[in-house]
């Protein structure tokens, strides 16, 4: 049985001694630029896991329990690219609703320079590469990362 209480979806299952509250997950995405270079070159990773396996995307992932969004984006960048992302700047938040994947998240997007040399971390990523912003905007990207990059392009044009 499912019902809504004050805009919170609650899913009650009678075969378990508790109920589950279906809520969106909080995630982070990083628009990484090369250190000391123009901000229109960005790093993308190609996913090797579901959902969106085989698609290019911005480095990022879930925020762990009791972790700040800034700490999460720094950690995710390090885990996926081996880069240091020490000065993330918040860009905006984005709703990511994909019922076909049973995926609902709110992505917090950050941008800034990556320090060091990128290195493939194979747990979730099969490729890593630098692209111009125009190249990235023309690609089919995972999640709502196209919208994130469009907002970033608008930000750069200001």
List CB contacts of 15: < 8 A, sequence separation 6 or more: none
Per the domain annotation, does 138 fall within a domain?
A: yes
E strands of the chain, at which residues?
Answer: 2-5, 8-11, 20-22, 25-34, 41-47, 56-57, 60-62, 89-98, 103-114, 125-132
Residue 48 lies in a domain: yes
The residue count for the chain = 158
Q: Residues 6 or more apart from 37 whose CB is under 8 A from it? A: 113
- Mean pLDDT, rounded, of the chain: 88
**Residue pLDDT, tens place only, 21-57:** 668 899 999 999 999 888 899 999 999 988 999 999 9
Residue 7 or 145, more confident = 145
Residue 17 lies in a domain: no
Host domain of residue 122? 24-157
Q: Is 70 inside a domain boundary? A: yes
Residue 65 has pLDDT above 50, yes or no: yes
Specify the DSSP element, H or E, that contains 135: helix 133-137
Our count of domains for the chain comes to 1
pTM above 0.75, yes or no: yes
Question: What is d(CA 70, CA 82) in angstroms, rounded to the nearest whole number?
Answer: 16
CATH number of the domain enclosing 46 = 3.90.79.10
pLDDT tens across 69-107, in order? 999 999 999 999 999 999 999 999 999 999 898 889 999
pLDDT level of residue 5 (50, 70, 90 thresholds): very low
């Amino acid at each position: 049985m499912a019902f809504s209480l004050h805009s919170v979806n609650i899913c009650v299952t009678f075969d378990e001694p508790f109920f589950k509250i279906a809520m969106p997950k909080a995630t982070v995405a990083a628009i990484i630029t090369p250190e000391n270079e123009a901000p229109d070159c960005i790093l993308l990773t190609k996913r090797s896991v579901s959902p969106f396996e085989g698609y290019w995307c911005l480095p990022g992932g879930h925020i762990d329990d009791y972790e700040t969004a800034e700490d999460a984006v720094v950690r995710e960048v390090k885990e996926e690219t081996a880069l240091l992302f020490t000065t993330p700047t918040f860009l905006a938040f984005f709703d990511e609703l994909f019922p076909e994947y049973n995926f609902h998240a709110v992505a917090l997007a950050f941008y800034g320079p990556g320090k060091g040399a990128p290195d493939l971390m194979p747990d979730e990523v099969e490729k890593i590469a630098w692209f111009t912003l125009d190249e990235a905007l023309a690609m089919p990207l995972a999640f709502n990362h196209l919208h994130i990059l469009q907002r970033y392009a608008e930000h750069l044009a200001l």
